[in-house]
Structure 1
């Protein structure tokens, strides 16, 4: 039903999970991301693999140990697929024997990709290798570029419907969490949402409180100045806002 990518940004330590599928609201079903680790539970997904798995990974268990235990206990294991990243940056992946072809996964040093009901292995390979190659892109754009490459390689063999991206920057709460639940071109719509987020939201997110800085930066002057600079740059480059927001009548 799905292909997804988990990665850790070597520059910032941010953790990202991005997913696309011909399945409604995959961005709500598949990702479980925390301050230090992540789980993607997919195929005939078991949500407890995500919730329990993330809790144990955040507590320091290894990805392989957690995954082995989840697989062992689940009588539906043959229809499950998951990949995990633990708090030490280690990865593990599992594709059950009954996952619908094509189904498989690929693990690297800094990222992993898994998918099922795909047109073929090229989808996983293109996603994996594009993420590896696009080191100059900002982390969210690098994740999106990788998934777009997987889509060009064939993607979900049933078509397109939904996508989602979750990024944590060392906190239990997300820095960015966006979903497209039902759309003819969900990855393109996810990129539009990211462009809109860049106008104001991402500036606000940088000022959000954290566990280390409980009050964050509540100074609106600095925030509005950063937003104004970004707006001036966008206008100078001739880029129109992609937001659908409306002003008061």
Structure 2
């Protein structure tokens, strides 16, 4: 199952991982992301590659060394696929020889893509090309656009079911973590959720506490003003809310 992208945003150093698959809740099973590192464990995923890998990469080990150790230790490495980025921005990838075709990976200077059970290599190639082409987009939108290009090129050969996107901005907690666990068009659902996030969530998240600012925004005045401005702008532009929330 699955293809995914790992990347670092050159604008602010944010770490992002996006995944899509004809497999339930792949956004929960595949990504392991931290403030400076990321691991995608897929195919017959081994979650310990994710948890241990994230910790070791954060401690300063190289992606290549960590991945080589996992392959050597895991008797099931032939059915595993993983790619990862270390704290220095270096990538490494492994596609086991028994992963279901088409399976493979691609490493570029600023991102990596890996997938299995795909219609062909054109999926990861189109994903990578779209990521490189759309550097002008906000990071989350750039990742979604890249994956949609991969889907247009064939995607998962079994169809669609789930997708997930997680972004860390220098904190142990995620800045954004959205998923479509069982959906007929999961990447479109991620795009909708990202659009809805512009209404309130991104403004709220701007005031969230962090390691260097334990209190964050201690009052809500600025947050409320930003939310009101965003709503006024949306209405002035004639855009309806895409939220499915229901008010009492």
Given the two structures, how large is their TM-score scaled by the length of structure 1?
A: 0.99
**2:246 equivalent in structure 1:** 246
**1:207 equivalent in structure 2:** 207
Distance 2:244 2:135 in 1: 31
Aligned pair count reads 248
Q: Report the secondary structure of 1:57's partner residue.
A: helix
**2:20 equivalent in structure 1:** 20
**1:166 equivalent in structure 2:** 166
C-alpha deviation, 1:109, in angstroms: 1.1
Distance 2:10 2:202 in 1: 20
Give unmatched runs, 5+ long, in structure 2.
Answer: none
C-alpha deviation, 1:218, in angstroms: 2.2
C-alpha deviation, 1:197, in angstroms: 1.1
Q: Report the secondary structure of 1:199's partner residue.
A: coil
TM superposition outliers: structure 1 runs of 4+ over 6 Å: none
Q: Report the secondary structure of 2:112's partner residue.
A: strand
Q: Report the secondary structure of 1:35's partner residue.
A: coil
Distance 1:189 1:165 in 2: 11
C-alpha deviation, 1:219, in angstroms: 2.0
Distance 1:234 1:221 in 2: 20
Deviation sequence 1:39-83 (CA, Å, 0-9, x none):
000001000000000000011100000000011000000000000
Give unmatched runs, 5+ long, in structure 1.
Answer: none
Distance 2:124 2:21 in 1: 13
Distance 1:93 1:218 in 2: 42
Deviation sequence 1:129-155 (CA, Å, 0-9, x none):
110110110000000000000000000
**2:118 equivalent in structure 1:** 118
**1:54 equivalent in structure 2:** 54
Q: What's the RMSD between the two structures over aligned residues?
A: 0.5
How does 1:1-249 map onto structure 2 within 5 Å? 1-248=1-248
